[in-house]
Structures are given as structure tokens and as C-alpha cells.
Amino acid sequence: MNKNFDAIIIGGGIIGTATGYYLSQKGLKVVLLEKDFLTAGSTGRCITGIRQQFSTPTSIKTAMESVAIFKTLDEEFDFDIEWASSGYMFLAYDEEKVKLFKKNIQIQRQFGLKVNFLTPEECKKVVPLLNIKDLLGGVWCASDGQANPFLVVKGFSEGIEKNGGKILINTKVENINTKNNKVQSVSTYGGETFSAPVVVNAAGPWAREIGKMVNLKLPVEPERHEALITEAVAYQRIPMLVDYRADGGYFVQRVTGQFIGCYTPETLIPGKNTNSTLEFLREMSRRMSRIVPALENVAVLRQWAGSYCMTPDGNPIIGKTEIEGFYCAVGMCGHGFMLGPALGKFLAQYITDKSWPFNLDEFAYGRSFGEREKMV
């Protein structure tokens, strides 16, 4: 195999495959190196939700672009990625959340997002199985949705190969070689060396380790989040329900019938540990059936855990670094799958044309980190 490429992507999740796909579409010869298998990191462990309801302009615009892309992927890949505009409903159980949600709506609407604050009775009309006890209202965005992360990555990776690129699984990066502050090549534990003037760090939970290879300190910290999925039952159009109470959680019914959900642990668990716990299984069951009581008869099939790759301000880090040719698309903070198609497209454009579609300073590498985004 000729080992000279135009771009080397490190990481076979949504970020790596989407970035690689759009680069290969622009005629670049891409090789993607994945240490395990495609979707083995955070992407394949996510709960499939895709929302546009964020609280800052950059995130909202990026997410809206992502939704626009998700809608075209069936046709682009020529198979069903299980996209559905099944919506997101944020539930408010205290006045503070009501206020915050209403404030966010004002920001979101500036970008043309159709989002409304509903009374509990109106929420129940959208989701007849919803328990509205203690509920003060909910924010409803019908154009948010869901898709299948495995199939989306499959489509992007097959696209890279169709465009003449290579996908190498079981290929762990050992070193990134630089000369005069410029990337030259990437060598692997298998003893191979790939040369390219562009290297993209899309390593998710392992992004910091990849950064270290070029002496960059990336402020990305993986945290464990557990999840579970139930058996498939008749589709009841249950949107992603987001409950931000201390003992809340979020879950959605997949268009294929399963309920999939997770919650943010009260005490954060840093590190790449992806063990699952009985406590989560029991707690999540309680929290889900509290919101949708009909779930009590549905059986849980499987539980697992994945990493949210957190940055200090809750926004991703994307773009160039002080090492010429070394780009980052890391620290997705639990939003990698939903933002991935857009961020991949933006980064590919940035690498080839040196321009962003709009100002992405909020996501820039080297920015000063302020407060974490309110709607995690």
C-alpha cells in the first residue's frame, strides 16, 4: 500500500468518519486510523438523540446544520439511517427551569428554530403517555430528532472508501512525527508509517493522549455516563424527554421501538471506565417509569457506559493548533453524534479552503474557557 496521503484521521467515530468523508469528497486522499473498530468509542455508546435546542448561537447554528445534513443522509448513503424528526421535550419542574427555558427559546428563535413552551396539558397532547404530575411545563421542538449512530458511521466510512480513501481498524497510533513544528507522518503500533501534511485528532476519549504526541495539552476530560436500552415495543412516538431534576435523566423511543436512555451521575466519574452498575439499572428504571408509567412493563435488555469528553466550558474544540497541519475535533461534551455531521463538514471546509461557514470562535482551540454551558 502506498502510504502517502493528503490527510490522516485518527479515530473512527462520528467525528472522524464525517470529517474524512467530507475531505474525501473534496478530492483529498484520506486514511482513517481506528485503534479498535468503528463506533467503539463514544459514538456507538450514545443514546441517538439529535437536538438543536442549545443556548448559544454557535451551538444552535451548528446543530441546525447537522439536522439539515441528517435529513439528506438516507439518499446520500442509499440506505436508511433511521433518522426521524421525533422531537425533544425539555421538562420543567421548577420556576427556575421555566425561566431558563423561556430565555433559551428567545435565543433559539433568532435563528429560525421552531420551539415552543407548552403547558403540562399541551405536553400531554404531544406525548399522551407522559405523567404530568409536578410538571410546570415543557419546551417542545418538533424538528429535533434521532438517528442510528452505527448506520451513520457506516455510511460515512463507506463513503470514504468509495472516494478512494482507506479505513484501517485495529490500527493504534503510537506516534505523530513533526519537523519544524509541522506534522509529517503518523506511525502505528503495527510498525507502519503514514505520511500526510494534515492530521486530524478525532480520538474522542483518547484525544488528550493523541494531543500529547505533539506536545499539546488538550483540556479534555472523559467522564463516564451509563445508558440502557429496552426491548422493542410498538412505536408510541415518545420524543427525547429531558428531565433536569437532580434525579432526572433523558430517554427516547427509537423508531425501531426500543427505549434508550441515560442520566448524568450526581458525582461525576472521570476517566475512561465504561463499567455498568446495578445502581444505574435500578435508578434509570425508576426515573423512566416515573415520567412514562407505561414503561413499567417493558423489559430492559442491555446496559453499558460511554464517555462524555468534557471541556471546561462545555463546548467542543475544533480547528487548527499551533502545530502546522495538526487539527483537533475533540471534547464533544456528549454532543458528538448530533453535531458530528456539521462539524465534520465545517472542518473539512476549513482544512481545504481555510474558512469556516460562520464564526466558530466559540469552539476554537486556544480560546479562554469561561463558564460551562447551562443546558448540558
Stretch that binds other proteins, among 24-32, 90-98, 241-249, 273-281 (CB under 8 A): 273-281
Closest distance to other proteins from the beta carbon of 240 (Å):
18
The answer to the question of residue 286 lying near other proteins (CB under 8 A) is yes
User: Which lies closer to other proteins via its Cβ, residue 25 or residue 274?
Assistant: 274
CA dist list (Å): 359 to 62, 104, 342: 11, 20, 14
The answer to the question of residue 172 lying near other proteins (CB under 8 A) is no
Closest CA to 8 of 154, 211, 180, 193: 193
Q: Mind giving me the DSSP string for 233-254?
A: -------EEEE-STT-EEEEE-
CA dist list (Å): 190 to 32, 35, 38, 72, 211: 15, 10, 18, 37, 20
The answer to the question of residue 236 lying near other proteins (CB under 8 A) is no
State the Cα–Cα distance between residues 129 and 236, nearest whole angstrom. Answer: 8
Closest distance to other proteins from the beta carbon of 157 (Å):
10
| Residue 363, all three cell numbers | 469552539
How many binding residues for other proteins (CB under 8 A)? 33
Closest distance to other proteins from the beta carbon of 286 (Å):
4
User: Which lies closer to other proteins via its Cβ, residue 40 or residue 364?
Assistant: 40
The answer to the question of residue 98 lying near other proteins (CB under 8 A) is no
The answer to the question of residue 19 lying near other proteins (CB under 8 A) is no
Stretch that binds other proteins, among 49-57, 131-139, 247-255, 298-306 (CB under 8 A): 298-306
The answer to the question of residue 104 lying near other proteins (CB under 8 A) is no
The answer to the question of residue 291 lying near other proteins (CB under 8 A) is no
Torsional class of 170: left (φ above 0), alpha (ψ -120 to 50), beta (otherwise): left
Q: What letter represents residue 34's amino acid?
A: E
- How many other C-beta atoms are found inside a 10 Å radius of the C-beta of residue 106? 9
The answer to the question of residue 300 lying near other proteins (CB under 8 A) is yes
Q: CA torsion sign, 87 to 92 to 44 to 70?
A: positive
SS3 call for 213: coil
The answer to the question of residue 62 lying near other proteins (CB under 8 A) is no
> What pairs with residue 33 in β-bridges?
10, 168
Closest distance to other proteins from the beta carbon of 296 (Å):
4
The answer to the question of residue 150 lying near other proteins (CB under 8 A) is yes
The answer to the question of residue 32 lying near other proteins (CB under 8 A) is no
Stretch that binds other proteins, among 16-24, 36-44, 85-93, 357-365 (CB under 8 A): 36-44
The answer to the question of residue 234 lying near other proteins (CB under 8 A) is no
On whether the CB atoms of residues 105 and 139 are closer than 8 A, the answer is yes
Closest distance to other proteins from the beta carbon of 76 (Å):
17
On whether the CB atoms of residues 19 and 200 are closer than 8 A, the answer is yes
Which residue ranges make up the site for other proteins (CB under 8 A)?
A: 36-40, 44, 150-151, 154, 169-170, 230-232, 276, 278, 281-283, 285-286, 288-289, 295-304
